[in-house]
Copies of this chain bind each other. A is one copy, B any other.
Amino acid sequence: MRALLVVAHGSRRPESNDEVRRLTDELRAVAGADYQRVECAFLELAEPSIPEGIDCCVAGGASEVVILPYFLSAGRHVVKDIPDIVADSRIQHPAVALRIAPYLGRATALVDSLLELSKN
């Protein structure tokens, strides 16, 4: 079973964290064919944490978890913090494939999204 874990920074503003949760709900609604489970987690300032999010997917039966950084640029969080946390989780779950996908800022379709937005 494959799971998708959207990882956001987390914010002191509950509304920002709720935006991520809503996006995760939308993703869940369309990702059924690819991922049997779609969850979100936060690097800091909100819950669940990334290890908790991974644990939740594994407890739900995931043999593969794709971790998707919801970040616009390849700062320290994307380059070091998230990989370090995932490396720790790999030790906890040696039988589960934990893969980090490219961060959102790398999506080629962003250009189309921006152009569409500009017309709203």
Residues of B within 8 A of A72 (CB): 8, 19, 70, 72, 104
Number of A interface residues at 8 Å Cβ cutoff, please give it.
Answer: 42
A87 within 8 A of B: no
Report which of B27, B68, B118 forms a contact with A66, defined as CB distance below 8 A.
B118
Min C-beta distance of A106 to chain B, whole Å: 7
Copies in the complex: 2
Q: A15-B74, A73-B13 are in contact. Are A101 and B115 (CB under 8 A)?
A: no
Query: In the complex, which residues 1-53 of chain A have their Cβ closer than 8 Å to any Cβ of chain B?
Result: 4, 6, 8, 11, 13, 15-16, 19-20, 23, 26-27, 30-31, 34-35
Report which of B35, B73, B105, B116 forms a contact with A107, defined as CB distance below 8 A.
B116
Residue among A11, A72, A112 facing the most chain B CB atoms (10 A cut-off):
A72
Query: In the complex, which residues 52-75 of chain A have their Cβ closer than 8 Å to any Cβ of chain B?
Result: 66, 68, 70, 72-75
